[in-house]
């Protein structure tokens, strides 16, 4: 189930520290991390699902809209800072859009990059999600 997970924020005059630990906040061991930044207005990223990979998205600066679909429920999330992360289990279709200027989105994954894990065809995703695989 896609869910918003509160993160630990530590704030002092030097700024904000957002904590993301495997097991405590991120519900899987982290094996890959990537950052999406410099998204031009009007662009939609992701538009895919993963067969087996878990993801955890945190907007470290700015704001983005994430639409998730697990085959049963479609939901829209606005990530606008490091206070929460969005957990997306396998077989979750994601679309990322409406990035504010200066937005930076960090994505934590439980697996290294594997092109065969991606589902880019929406019809295939729908079929697999309905089959529960």
User: What is the chain written as a DSSP string?
Assistant: --EEEE-EEEEETTEEEEE--BTTTBSS---EEEEEE-PPTT--EEEEEESS--EEEEEEES-EEEEEE-SS-EEEEEE-STTEEEEE-SS-EEEEE-PPTT-EEEEEESS---GGGEE--HHHHHHHHHHT-
Higher pLDDT pick, 132 / 7: 7
pLDDT, tens only, 98-123: 999 999 999 999 999 999 999 999 99
Q: What is the pLDDT of residues 46-103, one digit of tens each?
A: 999 999 999 999 999 999 999 999 999 999 999 999 999 999 999 999 999 999 999 9
What pLDDT, on the 0 to 100 scale, is given for residue 61?
96
What pLDDT was estimated at residue 69? 97
Residue 132 has pLDDT above 90, yes or no: no
- The predicted structure's pLDDT at residue 41: 87
As a whole number of Å, the CA-based R_g of the chain is 15
Give the model's pLDDT for residue 133. Answer: 61
């Amino acid at each position: 189930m896609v869910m918003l997970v509160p993160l630990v924020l530590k704030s002092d005059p030097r700024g904000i520290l957002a904590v993301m630990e495997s097991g405590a906040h991120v519900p899987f061991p982290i094996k890959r991390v990537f950052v999406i930044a410099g998204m031009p207005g009007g662009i939609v990223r992701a538009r895919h699902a993963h067969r087996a990979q878990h993801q955890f998205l945190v907007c470290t600066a700015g704001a983005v809209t994430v639409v998730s679909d697990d085959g049963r429920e479609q939901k829209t999330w606005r990530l606008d800072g490091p206070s929460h992360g969005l957990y997306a289990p396998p077989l979750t279709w994601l679309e990322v859009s409406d990035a504010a200027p200066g937005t930076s989105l960090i994505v934590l994954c439980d697996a290294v990059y594997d092109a065969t894990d991606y589902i880019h065809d929406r019809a295939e995703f729908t079929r697999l999600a309905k089959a529960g695989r």
